[in-house]
Chains A and B, each alone.
Chain A
Amino acid sequence: MAPAFQAANVTVSGLVYAIHTDMTPEGNHADAYVAVDSDTLYILYGEEQVVRMQGARRIVSAFAAHKLVTHPLNALGELKCERLLTTARLWGEADGEALVLLVFSIGCLPFAERLIKVINNLRQGIDPLREVFTDEHVFCLKCGMRFPEPERKVCPRCLDSKSITRRLMTFFANYRKQVFSILAVMFLSTAVSILAPYISSKLFFDEVLTPGGGYYGMVGAFVALIILARGVTTGMNVVYQYVLAKTVPWIIYDLKLKIFEAMQRLSVNFYASKRTGSLMNRVTRDATNIYWFFVDGLPFVIVNIFTFTGIITIMCLMNTELAVICLIIIPISLVLFRVLWSVFRRFHHKNWVYGSQLNSMVSDSVNGQRVIKAFAREEEESNRFSGISRKQTDMDIGVENTAFTAFPLIYLFMFTGQVVITALGGRMVLEDRITIGTLMTFIAFLNMLYGPLEFMSWVSNWWARCVDSAQRVFEIIDAKPDVQEPDDPITPEHLRGDIQLSGVWFEYEPAVPVLKGLDLQVKAGTLLGIVGKTGAGKSTLANLIARLYDVTEGEIRIDGVPIKRLPLALLRANIGIVSQEIYLFIGTIADNIRYARPGASIEEVIRAAKAASAHDFIMRLPDAYETRVGAGGQDLSGGEKQRLSIARAILQNPRILILDEATAAMDTQTEAEIQASLSRLQKGRTTLSIAHRLSTLRDADSLAVIHEGRVLEAGTHAELIALKGEYHKLYGMQTEALNVISESDA
Chain B
Amino acid sequence: MTHPSVLEKQTTEPEQNTDIGLLDTRETDFYKTDGGFTGLRYKGKTFPRVSFRRALPIGKPDSYISVADDENKEIGIIRDIGDLSHTQRDVVREDLAKRYFCPSVQSVKSVKDKMGYVYMELILTGAGTTYEKSCAINDVNRNIRMIDGSRLLIFDVDGNRYIIENIQALDKKSMSRLEPYMF
Which residues of A pack against B, CB within 8 Å?
Answer: 23, 25-30, 50, 53, 55-56, 84-87, 89, 91, 94, 97-100, 103, 105-107, 145-149, 156-157, 159, 346, 349-350, 353-354, 356, 464, 467-468, 471
Contact = CB atoms under 8 A, between A and B. Distances in A.
B35 A27 contact: no
Contact of A100 (B35, B102, B128, B137): B35
B119 interface: yes
Nearest to B53: A85
Contact of A26 (B48, B94, B137): B94
23 contacts: A28-B128, A28-B129, A29-B126, A29-B127, A29-B131, A86-B99, A86-B102, A86-B160, A86-B161, A89-B98, A97-B35, A99-B35, A107-B158, A145-B119, A145-B134, A146-B158, A156-B116, A159-B114, A353-B141, A354-B183, A356-B141, A467-B115, A471-B115
A163 to B, nearest CB: 14
A84 B98 contact: yes
Contacts of A107: 156, 158-160
B36 A99 contact: yes
Contact of A86 (B51, B138, B159): B159
Interface string B11-34: 000000000000000000000011
Given A97-B35, A98-B48, A146-B158, A27 B97 contact: yes
Interface of B: 33-37, 48-49, 51, 94, 97-103, 112, 114-117, 119, 121, 124, 126-129, 131-132, 134, 136-138, 141, 156-161, 180, 183
A98 B49 contact: yes
Interface of B is mostly: mixed
Q: Which of B97, B121, B134 has the most CB of A within 10 A?
A: B134
Contacts of A50: 132
Please give me the 4 A-B residue pairs with the lowest Cβ-Cβ distance, nearest first: A100-B36, A107-B158, A27-B98, A99-B35
Contacts of A146: 136, 157-158
Given A98-B35, A100-B36, A146-B136, A464 B158 contact: no
Contacts of B49: 98
Most chain B beta-carbon neighbours within 10 Å: one of A84, A94, A99, A100: A84
Contact of B101 (A56, A87, A464): A87
Given A97-B34, A106-B159, A107-B158, 8 more contacts: A27-B101, A30-B129, A55-B134, A84-B98, A89-B98, A91-B35, A105-B160, A356-B141
Contact of A27 (B112, B127, B160): B127
A489 to B, nearest CB: 38
Nearest to A158: B114
A94 B158 contact: no
Given A105-B160, A148-B136, A349-B180, A85 B99 contact: yes
A100 B38 CA distance: 11
Contacts of A350: 180, 183
Contacts of B116: 156, 468
Contacts of A156: 114-117
B37 A29 contact: no
B115 A159 contact: yes
A147 B101 CA distance: 22
A89 B51 CA distance: 13
A94 B116 CA distance: 47
Nearest to A52: B132
A146 B101 CA distance: 20
Nearest to A347: B180
Instruction: Count chain B CB atoms within 10 A of each CB in A55, A87, A89, A353 and give the residue with the most.
Output: A87
A153 to B, nearest CB: 13
A121 B178 CA distance: 46
Nearest to B124: A29
B115 A464 contact: yes
A23 B124 CA distance: 14
Contact of B134 (A23, A53, A346): A53
Contacts of B114: 156-157, 159
A346 B33 CA distance: 52
A84 B99 contact: yes
Contact of A23 (B100, B101, B117, B132): B101
Nearest to B158: A107
B51 to A, nearest CB: 8
